[in-house]
Structure 1
Amino acid sequence: MPRRETDRVQISADAWEALYRAQVAVMRRLQRHPEFAELSAREYDVLFNLSRADEAGMRLNELNEYVLLTQSSLSRMLERLELKGLVHRWQDPQDLRGLRIRLTDRGRAMQGQIAEQFRRHVHELMSAGLDADELKILTRLADRLREAVGEL
């Protein structure tokens, strides 16, 4: 590989590592808060994504696009969340092979309670290292990256 190409590859790898390590550091700090005593951060992520759906819920494969879990791990987690009374799963009437999922009233309430504190904690952590303009730039860059990767 030519030197210039090697440098660009290294710059991309360094940027990815920095982004990943920052996310891990923030998530580890967030998970220390009492909101996650009853519900893990990954479970909260599932509830958060389901909170964006309407009454028709989301298809399992659609939800799987938004979380960093294998479909089988997500299915097991949804079983646990259903046993806790936080989600409702049912067969998709449009596709009998598929499942749809939505939050129960209890799940929506729990997600809302955690979200309020979660946003405050995220603000404390993010604003400790970045000012408002830098946070806006980070948001734009992350959105551009997500869109570009989605188009591949």
Structure 2
Amino acid sequence: MADRATAVAAWEALFRAQVSIMRSLSAQFPTELMSLNEYDVLFNISRAPGRRLRLKDLNRHVLISQPSVSRLVDRLVARGLVQKTDDPLDGRGTIVQLTPKGFEEFRRAAIHHMHAITDRVGTALDDDELHQLIDLCDRLRTAQEHPAG
């Protein structure tokens, strides 16, 4: 087990780096296309098989609260970017699916966002360091899903 002071210092460094990067990326995000929260929802749906996802599963992956997700999805439906249908396997569930228009809008924002990420993250670390960062972050996330005693 790591030393407590070292663990806290590592958390502070990770947290402050994440906040700094997010502020920078938010400032460069193409808000004329969509908000960063809308992008997060569309990103998660776009990665699901068939570009469709149960609302319950979407709630687990996005960075905003469940009530906010439901309202945001309703706004995306009104704009024609996603559609909602009843889950045929669970009558209480809802499936959210990207529409062709929604996927196109997502792609436009994603291309811009990927350039900003590359500028902010890809220029600060080399490929080996980026792979290390991916591995470390994956380990941290997995540890949260399966906490040790």
TM-score > 0.5, shorter chain as reference: yes
Q: 2:21 aligns with which of 22, 26, 37?
A: 26
Q: Larger RCO: Structure 1 or Structure 2 (Cα < 8 Å, ≥ 6 residues apart)?
A: 2
Q: 2:137 aligns with which of 130, 142, 147?
A: 142
Q: For the Cα contact (< 8 Å) 1:81–1:87, is it kept in 2?
A: yes
The code of the aligned residue for 2:17 comes to A
For residue 89 of structure 1, what is the aligned residue in structure 2?
A: 84
- The offset of 1:45, in angstroms, is 0.8
> SS of the counterpart of 1:35?
coil
| C-alpha distance after superposition, 1:69-103 (max 9, x if no partner) | 22111101111111111111111111111111011
Q: For the Cα contact (< 8 Å) 1:31–1:40, is it kept in 2?
A: no
Q: For the Cα contact (< 8 Å) 2:34–2:109, is it kept in 1?
A: no
Change beyond 3 A, Cα 1:113–1:100: same
Q: For the Cα contact (< 8 Å) 2:77–2:83, is it kept in 1?
A: yes
Q: Give the structure-1-normalised TM-score.
A: 0.87
- The offset of 1:54, in angstroms, is 2.4
The code of the aligned residue for 1:136 comes to H
Q: 1:129 aligns with which of 115, 124, 127?
A: 124
- The offset of 1:139, in angstroms, is 0.7
Q: 1:108 aligns with which of 103, 110, 114?
A: 103
Q: Which structure: greater strand fraction?
A: 2
- The offset of 1:118, in angstroms, is 1.3
Q: Percent identity over the alignment?
A: 40
- The offset of 1:129, in angstroms, is 2.2
Aligned equivalents of 1:98, 1:130: Cα separation in 2: 42
Point out where structure 1 has 5 or more consecutive residues left out of the alignment: none
Aligned equivalents of 1:74, 1:34: Cα separation in 2: 20
- The offset of 1:149, in angstroms, is 1.4
Point out where structure 2 has 5 or more consecutive residues left out of the alignment: none
For residue 70 of structure 2, what is the aligned residue in structure 1?
A: 75
The code of the aligned residue for 1:109 comes to E
Worse-matched range after superposition: 126-135 or 95-104: 126-135
Q: For the Cα contact (< 8 Å) 1:60–1:101, is it kept in 2?
A: yes
Q: 2:56 aligns with which of 39, 56, 61?
A: 61
